[in-house]
Structure 1
Amino acid sequence: MIVKKLGGFLCIGLFISWVSACTGVGPSTSLFRSTSPHDQYGQSLKEARLDRTALGTDWLEAGNRALRDSLKISVPYRESGYFSANKTFAVGYRLDAQRGDRFLVRVETQGQKTAQVFIDVFSLDDRNRTSLIAASKADTNVLAWEPRKTQTYLIRIQPELLRSGSYTITVTREPALAFPVQGRDSRQISSYFGASRDGGRRRHEGVDIFAPKGTPALASVDGIITGVGSNSLGGNVAFLSDNDRNIRLYYAHLDRWNVSNGQRVSVGDTVGFVGNTGNARTTGPHLHFGIYGFTDGATDPLPFIRLGRGPARQPLLAESRLGDSVRVSASKSPVRLAPTADAPVLQELPKSSALTIIGGTEAMASCRNAGWANGLRR
């Protein structure tokens, strides 16, 4: 078998390694905080002295290299692949995320026995230092997480030892908050954060969502109502405190309220009704929706409530191709390989180099250098 455009494939490194870089978990933090399932599993290998075996050492080293040799992706994203019981496996993915995003990472496995897969999310600073911010629960191959600041993040996927099977990883994005106007979505936003107001003397500190007068304005989170009252700009207003995210949601220009100070509400409860009170008397009815941090000023609400991008649609590799051995057909094809200690991940391979496909999508195959293997298909 010959891969006609292998030069266009991006081959993901899989001999990747583990590091204990954590915030809020691990032995260096509070004794009242538990370590992540990945860390607990690594510690169990050490306690059983399996870290002194070749396979145990490879597993512990695999996670660390995944943090360095990660693939940059755009969400939504998915790919399929295969991991073997006699080889360690880990893979990393980098993505840019905004405060207000909510990501769902799911790993589906198929094999003789369903493998536990550890999913960890790290923040990545401008010096490429990692800090663990979220981890999947034990025996759960799914993780939902929200970035607390706009920056680059890294997702690491690693199954337990001595398991074989095929897998599909999917990463999707959705808004962190429910939309605050009944029957509307982010397509009905007509004025955005930062727009000029009063001849440039101030900036718009929210988004405007237009809807007929009397349309219910809904609680976007579970929280407590504070600050029900009136002011000259916002007219009838209410604040909804979200203690989990340390933010307050601001509802303005309400025709009337449906809540009182100190009231606890749940997502979807009616806070008030859309109107045009305050300085919106000359405009059509709309909800001014803002977000303020407990310790800082206004932040752009759009990432918190905008529509997600839907499911991942990358065509997956046929399962029959996983583990397939191929040759590079183009001259000097740049590929991404499973890394070794003495070779870079990104390499430019000459024509006829032998590779084994271990995962990816139809557009990007993940490959391991196969050497000149017997039975190589042409």
Structure 2
Amino acid sequence: MKNISLYVLVILCLSCQGTKIEQLLRPSSPYGRYLQGLKASDLKNYSMVREWEEAGKRVLADSNQVELPYKELTRFDPAEPEAASFLFSASEGQKITVDLKLLSDTSATWFIDLFEVKEGGELEELKIEGEKYTSKYPVKSGDKFLLRLQPELLRGGLVELSISYTPSLSFPLLEKSYLNIASFFGDPRAGGRRQHEGVDIFAARGTPVLAVREGRVSRVGNNRLGGKIVRISSGRYFFYYAHLDSQLVAVGTKVKPGDTLGTVGNTGNARTTAPHLHFGIYATGWKSVDPLGFFQKAPELPGSSMADSVLFSNWARVKPALVNLRQGPSTRSMILDKLEKQAVFRIMGKTQGWLRIRLPDERQGFLAENLVELVETPLEQRTIQPSDFLKVNWWSPVFQHSSFSGKAEVLGSFGQFDLVAAANGIHLWVKKQDSPV
């Protein structure tokens, strides 16, 4: 009770000093502040504000799963509240990098939000660094992450999204990289009685060994396994250099990336092997961490073709008899559903020969591009009768009306309905003639 009274007193004092209570409760993210502003504006009672918020929530529960690096060309229709999300894995030590290029409407505001997916599926919003549309986040523990992309209300356009990763440490040997690692974390040692707690990089004896991050020398010593060693303390990590031929720093020395700590050798239990550096990373509590993620650089992906932009938001349909709708752009990705021939959908984005699609019922997934065709050529003709059941869009109520009667072109189907182009050019959903009411 005392704590509650103290809290109320603090609020009252701040109010007397001119501090608004709303400022204390204001969401910290740009997305949250924008949504709060919409709800406080004259637009708060309009359905488009509610639909914009619902679009952002919906994609958090139904995400596309991709592998990094990932690059997609996509277009968001300004007239329709839309959002997209991408689920991916990243390793400790990697720095997630997100880059959004605005290719049409460069004045629009876009929201890029990154979440860590906790056990049980809970989402924890993360604070990402960087400029407006180039963001970075250093991964502190290997896990799953979710990225949400959404433009401001009534804005959109053509954009290229790139999600990748960069190394968070410089490499400990000059003119070498993670591709030169010869023995990896977790490899068996001592006949399988223990595991390798680092990586080995072979190099000529006397090659300079370098600091990978700013820190302080916390130990310089000699032991049976590691031989001549140097240990650097840097924030939540310790960097361990072993089998050195010489040690060139003293305890307490402050170092920066690129400073020489010693030279490559084969001391300790490496006496019978060629000279190499054993490099290890330990987190607080002396927990060993795989160094590979700290050094890896993602391969470059080719740029997108602007010619593909004609596909987006258009209706398309399945060409073969049966295709797999997948969670990600790979034949290794989980199958979400099987779509029959002539099933229709909208194309939302393209990446490396795959199309990200949205079904009429809002579910999303990926189809290989060669399994898809646009609905430019009608499949057949049918006559709409006054007794036919119609929908103007997938979620609208079913109705009957004689004003839509007449010839129509069938473009495809979904569920119990055909998608047709009526004589006046309007797209309608018409219940199939052999489907039950």
Contact 1:116/1:141, CA 8 A, preserved across alignment: no
Q: 1:117 to 1:267 in 2, by over 3 A?
A: farther
Per-residue CA deviation, residues 312-358 of structure 1 (Å, 9 max, x unaligned), is 24865612222333344344555589xxxxxxxx6655544444333
Range moving further from structure 2, 318-327 or 247-256:
318-327
More RCO (CA 8 Å, sep 6+): 1
CA offsets per residue over residues 34-92 of structure 1, 9 Å max, x none? Answer: 71221222222223253432221122222211111110101111111111222112111
The answer for the alignment partner of 1:105 in structure 2 is 98
Counterpart among 239, 258, 261 of residue 248 in structure 2:
258
Are 2:228 and 1:236 aligned? yes
Q: Tell me the CA shift for residue 292 of structure 1.
A: 0.7
Q: Which residue is 2:139 aligned to?
A: 147
- 1:1-378 equivalences in 2 (<5 Å): 35-48=28-41, 50-135=43-128, 140-243=132-235, 246-305=236-295, 307-313=296-302, 318-331=308-321, 333=323, 335=325, 350-361=340-351, 362-367=353-358, 369=360, 371-373=419-421, 374=425
* Contact 1:116-1:140 at 8 Å conserved across structures: no
1:261 to 1:333, Cα distance in 2 relative to 1, 3 A: same
Distance 1:40 1:76 in 2: 30
Report the CA distance shift for 1:195/1:111 in structure 2 as closer, same or farther (over 3 A).
closer
Query: Which residue identity is paired with 2:167?
Result: P
- Please give the TM-score of this superposition, normalised by the length of structure 1: 0.79
Given that 1:323 and 1:356 are in contact with CA atoms closer than 8 Å, whether structure 2 keeps it comes out as yes
Deviations for 1:287-325, whole angstroms, at most 9, x for unmatched residues? 1100111124212222222x3231124865612222333
The change in CA–CA distance for 1:354 and 1:206 in structure 2 (over 3 A counts) is: closer
Q: Secondary structure at the match of 1:52?
A: coil
Distance 1:333 1:173 in 2: 32
Counterpart amino acid of residue 275 in structure 2: P
**Amino acid corresponding to residue 273 of structure 1 in structure 2:** T
CA 1:225–1:115: 2 relative to 1, 3 Å? farther
* Cα shift at 1:32: 11
Q: What letter matches 1:322 in structure 2?
A: F
Counterpart residue type for residue 311 of structure 1: E
Percent of pairs with identical residues:
35
Q: Match of 2:127, SS?
A: strand
Deviates more, 1:222-231 or 1:88-97: 222-231
Q: Which deviates more from structure 2 when the two are superposed, residues 169-178 or residues 327-336?
A: 327-336
Higher helix proportion, which one?
A: 2
Deviation at 1:368, TM superposition (A): 5.6
Aligned residues: 335
Is the contact between residue 63 and residue 158 of structure 1 (CA under 8 Å) also seen in structure 2? yes
Structure 2: which amino acid aligns with 1:188? N
TM-score, with normalisation over the residues of structure 2?
Answer: 0.69
The one-letter code of the counterpart of 2:234 is: D
- When residues 50 and 241 of structure 1 are mapped into structure 2, their CA distance, relative to the original with a 3 A threshold, is farther
Distance 1:255 1:51, change over 3 A: farther
> How many Å apart are 1:163 and its aligned residue?
1.7
Tell me if structure 2 keeps the 8 A contact 1:36–1:135.
no
Deviates more, 1:152-161 or 1:224-233: 224-233
- Name the larger-Rg structure: 2
CA distance in 2 between counterparts of 1:234 and 1:96 reads 33
Matching residue of 1:12 = none
- In structure 1, list runs of 5 or more residues that go unmatched: 1-30, 338-345
Q: CA, structure 1 residues 329+375, in 2 after alignment: closer, same or farther (shift >3 Å)?
A: farther
